[in-house]
Amino acid sequence: MEEQNLEGRLSVSLVHHRFKNVFGFGHFNKLQSACFHKIYDSDDNVVISAPTGSGKSCCLELGMIRVLEKYYGKKQEQGKHKIIYIAPVKALVQEKYNEWKQKFSSLGINVGELTGDTHQVTAETLEPFDIILTTPEKYDSLSRKWRDDSCLKFVKSTELILIDEVHLLNEERGAVLEAIVSRIKSISSIQNHSSRIIALSATIPNIEDVATWLDVSQSNVLVFGDEYRPSKLELRSIGFTNDKKNYFAFEKMLDKKLFDIIKSESHEKPTLVFCSSRNSTMKSAQQIVNDSNSCKTNYFITSNEQKERLTAKSKNVEDQQLREMIVFGVAFHSAQLSSNDRNIVESLFSNRELSVICTTSTLSQGLNTPAYLVIIKGTKIYQSGTGYKEYPSMNVLQMIGRAGRAGFEEAGLALILTESNMAETYQNLANNNYVIESTLHKYIFEHLNAEICLQSVRDLTESTYWLKSTFLYARLQKNPEYYGLTTSEDLEKKVEEILEKRITELGDNQIINIDGTLIKPTPLGQVMSRLYIQYKTMLLLLSSIGSKMNEKKILQLACTAEEFAEYAIRQGEKGVLISLNQNEKIKYPLKKKIEMAREKVFVLVQSVLGSITIESVSLRQQSVTLRSPLSRILSCLFEIAKNLGFGVTCRNAFKMARKVQVGSWN
């Protein structure tokens, strides 16, 4: 008989005794108890849809323990039964890595991390690990080599795949997750080896489509409503008039509302303010500090001891503006801060030394920084080339979910500050009436080419089989209009026509070779797949490469790649970039204005190669992250030049790639 308490909750004692300490409690909550047997006593695929903060992440650990307890203590089995955890953002991967390393390392279980910060990782280097945490992009890159002996061994040793935040399929990066799950299904079919999948999702109405895609039976689609959220969440959408029809001015007006809202609604409890950009986080935080300091006593500092602790901690902060701000009980936070600064801010907030954090949406995805009050300051985000756009619904819900977390607050309040005409829309968002769609159709060339290179797709028929294994196909059946089709069209016939056009285009651009009905990869297509190059970038490189390009022209061309579109110049960066460009150590200074992402990247990479100190923490962080894609693009240029017999360009591209890899002109 199962051991239960008066509320019918299952006891942790049901788990193998060696793993009980993984959980920091004696009984599972209602949701975990309801999922227990489906997860712990079965090897079937499962998808769980539940509100943020309901405790569903614990179900991943139950699935892990089911695998681990079979081989616990058998040294010869270590690393041979792998668990792969996939999350959409690096911040969530790192948070789970730190948590699970602490929980499982003491049991002799090896936990490894595979993200953008871990370079040159191969299947061999991952061999000792039992649990591997990664992003979709990194797993995609690794699994594209699955036919190699070492990688095939890695894939066949994978027993469990955990997918967190699967509802983020509707974001641009969701296409990669679709591609890798479909590849996993293809490998399972070819190798007669299946890996169990457990996926977690926020509450969405079309969770059945996700289940269909993941091959989850109806009985294993576990859906939980708001009643399973342990802390009550109140949501209010507040509309403000945008008189000037200028969103920048509208956000500035909202900044001046924040302090009074926090005073009246926070009850002196922790507050998160979500802003649309890093620059906005700093301005909002500064405005709150200024308004707080205008009071007789600082509203957020309640004792001399708190002031002293904040002052002491601030001395370890690298960012000057953040360092000056922390002593007033307010901070800003974004992915562009150094990891040291982010950790200090998160720690101080968790310990309630800081009262307010103004942050970008990065903090909404998985980091354990709960608050009583969440304020979404404006619902639009600036996108280079298209202007201000409303946040995706999933992003808004992710931010809302940070309010009132189990074990921290019994209740939470989320306030959405938006334009008057959008207030009702966001109020209705609480009813969970949004449907997630696929984004794979936007990146079909990259992922189709990858499967052709893997020989999983060798003709049009097999390309159709591949597409039918995707979430895109599940949604095409339900909502063809969203993807530009009509309900009256024969879906299968239309899908074949679309794929045939894409295959023909890949052939015309020498990415693949079409021989009658057979499709084969070309050397260029294999380079594109192996080096993880975007299709638009590949076309750019092929059309722009010359036979005798010098170092400068090669670097300039590489910096125009599509991969750097996200490096648009932010407010406050132009002055720093101009100053860097004028430094005598810049080998190829720009003679024109610095206005585009390509010019920013061109200056930043030269700053790194010339060992120039970049004072801006944000730009310094970006100069680090851009080196990996730039190195890949330069390597791609080398391969293209070699393929075309362009000896001079080939040599110079090789040298330039090496310089970027080592971070020096020498």
Whichever domain contains 290, its CATH number is: 3.40.50.300
Same domain, 214 and 325: no
* Range ranked top by mean pLDDT from 89-93, 189-193, 349-353, 488-492: 349-353
pLDDT digits (tens, 9 = 90+) for 152-193: 777 788 899 999 989 888 888 899 999 999 998 888 877 777
Is the pLDDT reported for residue 118 higher than 60? no
pLDDT digits (tens, 9 = 90+) for 414-442: 999 999 999 888 887 766 667 889 999 99
pLDDT digits (tens, 9 = 90+) for 583-592: 999 999 999 8
Is the pLDDT reported for residue 285 higher than 70? yes
User: Residue 384: its pLDDT value, please?
Assistant: 53
Provide the whole-model pTM.
Answer: 0.81
Instruction: Work out how many domains the chain is built from and give that number.
Output: 4
Residue at a domain's end among 190, 213, 228: 228
Give domain status of residue 196, yes or no: yes
Q: For residue 453, name the pLDDT band (cuts at 50, 70, 90).
A: very high
Token match 């390392």: residue? 105
Q: Among 174, 632, 168, 181, which residue's Cα sits nearest to residue 451? A: 181
Same domain, 78 and 186: yes
Give domain status of residue 259, yes or no: yes
Distance CA 91, CA 109 (A): 22
Same domain, 258 and 191: no
Give the domain range for residue 164.
12-228
Give domain status of residue 362, yes or no: yes
Tell me the sheet residues that pair with 239.
418
| Tokens coding 417 | 């500050």
User: Residue 121: its pLDDT value, please?
Assistant: 65
Mean pLDDT to the nearest integer, 608-625? 89
Q: For residue 308, name the pLDDT band (cuts at 50, 70, 90).
A: very high
Same domain, 197 and 260: no
Residue at a domain's end among 530, 560, 590: 530
Same domain, 61 and 94: yes
- Average pLDDT across the chain, whole number: 88
Same domain, 256 and 211: no
Residue at a domain's end among 206, 228, 250: 228
Mean pLDDT to the nearest integer, 478-489? 86
Give domain status of residue 7, yes or no: no
Look up residue 83 and give its DSSP letter: E
For 49, 61, 114, the CA distances from 64, given in Å and listed in that order, are 19, 5, 18
Q: Which long-range contacts (CB under 8 A, 24 or more apart) does 548-552 make?
A: 548/646, 548/648, 548/649, 549/641, 549/646, 549/648, 549/649, 549/652, 549/653, 550/652, 551/652, 551/655, 551/656, 552/587, 552/588
Mean pLDDT to the nearest integer, 510-515? 96
Same domain, 220 and 250: no
Q: Among 361, 383, 391, which residue's Cα sits nearest to residue 374? A: 361
Whichever domain contains 608, its CATH number is: 1.10.3380.10
Distance CA 73, CA 82 (A): 15
Give domain status of residue 4, yes or no: no
Q: Are 54 and 228 within 8 A, CB to CB? A: yes
Residues in CB range of 63: below 8 A, 6 or more apart:
39, 40, 46, 160, 162, 196, 198
State percent of the chain over pLDDT 70.
93
Whichever domain contains 501, its CATH number is: 1.10.10.10
- Among the ranges given (3-17, 217-231, 302-316, 489-503), the one the predictor scored with the smallest mean pLDDT: 3-17
Mean pLDDT to the nearest integer, 533-562? 97
Distance CA 634, CA 621 (A): 21
Same domain, 495 and 576: no
Same domain, 296 and 378: yes
User: Residue 226: its pLDDT value, please?
Assistant: 80
Give domain status of residue 407, yes or no: yes
Same domain, 292 and 208: no
Give domain status of residue 174, yes or no: yes
Mean pLDDT to the nearest integer, 546-552? 96
Is the pLDDT reported for residue 2 higher than 90? no
Residues in CB range of 123: below 8 A, 6 or more apart:
142, 145, 148, 150, 151, 153, 154
| Tokens coding 612 | 């120039």
Give domain status of residue 295, yes or no: yes
Q: For residue 234, name the pLDDT band (cuts at 50, 70, 90).
A: confident
Same domain, 344 and 365: yes
Distance CA 63, CA 220 (A): 14
Q: For residue 6, name the pLDDT band (cuts at 50, 70, 90).
A: very low
Same domain, 353 and 265: yes
Q: Are 604 and 558 within 8 A, CB to CB? A: no
Mean pLDDT to the nearest integer, 214-241? 89
Using DSSP, state whether 412 is helix, strand or coil: strand
Ranges assigned E (strand) in 50-153 = 82-86, 111-114, 131-134
Is the pLDDT reported for residue 209 higher than 50? yes
